[in-house]
Each structure stands twice: as structure tokens, then as C-alpha cells.
Chains A and B, each alone.
Chain A
């Protein structure tokens, strides 16, 4: 009887631990998705303070094939006028490996090039790392979808 009870307790504990882990992962995924949205929103508002919190100090960002540091990115946002480009996020997937999260997704960007409206679809990969009790963006880049 005792063995059966102990076995039941162990199984119960294992199930709860499994649920807790799954729950944590779902919570983390939601947090990362929210941060991706905050990044888009902050950029559309030229909100440097919000971006400063989202980006790690050693962020590496690849834009049109060139490396951009956090400082360069924020300086550009600071000096930019009202955003002429509009970004619409599409589907994204989040994979969590311990304190690292990889987000892969696509977005549409509408902007003006030589005075003409242009629509580009991009596929991106972002890397987030959990540091000092919060998730920060450490690497990001995108390639234009050509097909």
C-alpha cells in the first residue's frame, strides 16, 4: 500500500514538474512575442528609451547586409523624423533553449524609395538572451524574400 502511495506521489510530482516546465515555456514564449511587438511599436514611435531597454548593449544588428551597433541604431532613431516606413509583423515562431530564444518570422515593410511606394517582405532571425532577470535582444537580422 505504502509503495503504491509513494509511487502515486512520485508520479504526481513528475507530472506537476512537467506541467510547470511546459507552463514556464509557454510564459516565456508569450514574453518574447510581446517584446517583438514592443520593439515594432517603439520603433514606430521613435521611442529610444523603450528600445534601449529591449536591446542588449552588445547588440549586433544586420541591416541591408551591414552591421549596425546598438549605438548606431539608437542614434538613427533619435535623429529620424516621423516614420515613413510601416512594418506589419506576420507569422513568427519562438524556440527556447534554456536562457536563449530564437525567433524566426516574416514581416512586410512599406516605405518610399525615390518617392515611390515600395513593399518588401523580409524573413528575420532574432536571438534573445535572459540576462539580469529580463530578456534582451542580442542579435537580429533579416533577408529580403525574393520568391
Chain B
């Protein structure tokens, strides 16, 4: 049983690597989606250092209340994150050279001022490939309409 699982894992890895080599865009899309997961994990782990590495210094975010946040605001917010769960879904990446747009939905649950909440929000993030790595330069979050 273990051998079959190992074979399946190796086959999956080889296929992914081959696909990435065949289609560099697929590789870049996977990287951006992985970065989004790093972002989510940083919030859950209240880890501003992990987030600082993937946000550009000029990063700007508009939240679902229309408030504007700079990178420093977001990093401070991570430290006091009140999230209990963060799930991401329906992510789609659009590449434009060294710029990538990613859209998706995230579902969050948590407790705010003693009150539990559950939100479903849509995000549109812009990533830029700079100095050999992807950094996020903007993010829009709004209550999901569908």
C-alpha cells in the first residue's frame, strides 16, 4: 500500500514538474496561489514577518468598508488578528508579463469584540515580479455578492 502511495506521489510530482516546464505560465500561476496561501497562513499564525516579505513597501489595500491601509497597517493588523478560520476558494490568476491579477473568495470566521462573525469576501490582488520574486502591490476586498 505504502509503495503504491509513494509511486503515485512520485508520478504526481513528475507530472507537475513536467507541466511547469511545458507551461511556464502554469508554474507562475501556482507560485502566486502559493503566495496567497502564505498570506492566509501569516494571518492565522499572527506572523507579520512572513507577510512583510511578500508585500511591497508601497502596498495598498482597500477593505470591505472602503478603508485604505498601507503595508504598516496590515502588518500591525496581523498581530491582532481575531480569525479562527480562513478558507480560500475559486482563485483565478491572469498573467500580464511581470504583473499578475488574482481573484478569489475567502471565508473567515472569528470573534470581534466578543461577537462571533462569519464573512465571505471577494478579493482582487495585484502581484508584481520584481528582483526575482513576486510581491503584492495592491489588494481590494469587498463583501462577496454571489
Residue contact A121 to B101, C-beta cutoff 8 Å = no
B124 touches A95 (CB 8 A): no
Kindly identify, within residues 30 to 44 of chain A, every residue whose CB is under 8 Å from any CB belonging to chain B.
none
Q: Are B124 and A139 in contact (CB under 8 A)?
A: yes
Q: List 30 A-B contacts (CB under 8 A).
A: A58-B94, A60-B94, A60-B103, A62-B122, A62-B142, A63-B145, A65-B121, A66-B146, A67-B122, A95-B60, A97-B58, A97-B137, A99-B98, A100-B99, A104-B62, A104-B138, A121-B66, A123-B66, A124-B140, A125-B126, A127-B126, A129-B97, A142-B62, A142-B66, A142-B140, A143-B63, A143-B66, A146-B65, A147-B65, A147-B66
Identify A127's interface contact among B92, B99, B146, CB under 8 A.
Answer: B99
Contact residues in B for A104 (Cβ distance below 8 Å): 60, 62, 68, 138
Instruction: Kindly state the separation between the CA atoms of A112 and B120 in the bound complex, as whole angstroms.
Output: 27
Query: In the complex, A97→B103 CA distance in Å?
Result: 20
The closest CB in chain B to the CB of A58 belongs to: B94
- The interface size of chain A toward B, counting residues with CB under 8 Å, comes to 34
**Is B67 interfacial (CB 8 A cutoff)?**
yes
Q: Mark B105-138, 1 if CB is under 8 A from A, else 0.
A: 0000000000000000110101010100000011
Q: Residues of A at under 8 Å CB distance from B?
A: 56, 58, 60, 62-67, 95, 97-100, 102, 104, 106, 121-125, 127, 129, 131, 138-139, 141-147
Question: Nearest Cβ distance between residue A14 and chain B, in whole angstroms?
Answer: 22
B34 CB-CB contact with A under 8 Å:
no
- Please give, as numbers and ranges, the residues of chain A lying within 8 Å of B97 by CB-CB distance: 99, 129, 131
Complex alpha-carbon distance, A119 and B99, angstroms = 34
Shortest CB-to-CB span from B23 to chain A, Å, is 17
Bound together, the chains give a CA A66 to CA B146 distance in angstroms of: 6
Provide the residues of chain B in CB contact with A66, threshold 8 Å.
122, 144-146
Complex contacts, B144 vs chain A, CB 8 Å: 65-66
A124 and B96: CB pair below 8 A?
Answer: no
Q: Which of B65, B124, B128 contacts A125 (CB 8 A)?
A: B124
Report the bound CA distance from A129 to B144 in whole Å.
26
With A60-B103, A104-B68, A144-B66 already in contact, the answer to whether A127 and B138 are too (CB < 8 A) is yes
Q: How far is the CB of B59 from chain A (nearest CB, A)?
A: 9
Given A60-B92, A127-B101, 14 more A-B residue pairs with CB atoms under 8 Å apart are A56-B96, A58-B96, A62-B103, A66-B122, A67-B122, A97-B137, A122-B66, A123-B62, A127-B138, A138-B94, A142-B140, A143-B62, A143-B64, A143-B142
Inside 8 A of B68's CB, which chain A residues have their CB?
Answer: 104, 123
Name the one of A97, A98, A125 contacting B62, with C-beta atoms under 8 angstroms. Answer: A125
| A56 neighbours in B (Cβ, 8 Å) | 96
